[in-house]
Amino acid sequence: MPKYFPGITHCIVRTPKNKEEMEATQEVIADVALCFGDDSDGLGPIRIKKMQGVISGVSAYPPKALVIENGKKAWLYILNGKVADEAKMTALIAFDKVKQKFGVKYNKKYKVVGDTVEEIGANDAISSSGMGEQPTV
């Protein structure tokens, strides 16, 4: 049971609509929301990105908020420290469960409850369509 988020009931995992959208978001291969009851009552998106360079794999990034102070824009993470670590680990586990059951495909939306993963439709939260080739993770 999560220490900082004991009320999480499930996760929603969304994948980009197509390769162009993935590239436009700097290789984000999934957005994960940690949900508390209803699908719309959640914390996210926790972004799952492909790692670039010598080490391959994925990494998670907590949600950010745009702050403007004295006319200067800055993006700040909403979660930090152990709370952020737990949120990222929960998101990575949910993503891994989706990957193990279905692989990684464009334009999909999944619900993860415990060890159960179900495809619940197309990704309605991100733009345009295109199912061509699938992302490589």
Cα(68)–Cα(82) distance, integer angstroms: 26
Answer yes or no: is 1 within a domain.
Answer: no
Cα(89)–Cα(133) distance, integer angstroms: 28
Between residues 72 and 54, the one the model is more confident about:
72
The domain in which residue 107 lies consists of 10-121
Answer yes or no: is 73 within a domain.
Answer: yes
Q: How confident is the model at residue 133 (pLDDT cuts 50, 70, 90)?
A: very low
Residue 53 is given by DSSP the state S
Q: In total, how many domains does the chain have?
A: 1
Q: Is 95 helix (H, G, I), strand (E, B) or coil?
A: helix
Answer yes or no: is 63 within a domain.
Answer: yes
CA dihedral 123, 124, 125, 127 (to 10 degrees): 90
Q: What average pLDDT does the chain have?
A: 88
Answer yes or no: is 56 within a domain.
Answer: yes
Tell me: pLDDT of 135 over 60: no
Answer yes or no: is 105 within a domain.
Answer: yes
Answer yes or no: is 86 within a domain.
Answer: yes
Answer yes or no: is 96 within a domain.
Answer: yes
Token pair recorded at residue 4: 């900082």
The pLDDT tens digits for 76-100 are: 999 999 999 999 999 999 999 999 9
